[in-house]
Amino acid sequence: MVGALRACVVFLWAGSVRTLQSLALGKGSQGLNSAIAKHDSRARAVRSMDDFAHLRDSTLLIVCQDLGIISKSERKMLDAALDLRNNCRHPNNYNPGIKKVSAFIEDVVGIVFA
């Protein structure tokens, strides 16, 4: 076993965000941009995948809920997953256990890729 649990969390989260961005963009830019503006008045308009670079992941989750891509309970689970990703992304002494990472994978895959 390599023990790259933190990297697993970070990489799975990156793929999940990209998938949610693609689904949100597929809803049309007008509805997407109005949902973004509702939660972040300073956010730039999103017309392509590259434009998501300026949008926080937490805002994306709320926007996806507004667009009907995920439910409120799914957003809450993804908010918790984002917290774990943040702990794993930044240099620190945090090392999640295999069960925590397994639960993270189960939740994220079940919501985003199902």
Which domain, by its residues, includes 17?
Answer: 5-112
Overall domain count for the chain: 1
Closest to 65 measured CA to CA, from 23, 5, 107: 23
The string of DSSP codes covering 65-85 is HHTTSS-HHHHHHHHHHHHHH
Give 58-106 pLDDT, tens digit per residue: 999 999 999 999 999 999 999 999 999 999 988 888 899 999 999 999 9
pTM: predicted TM-score of the whole model, two decimal places: 0.93
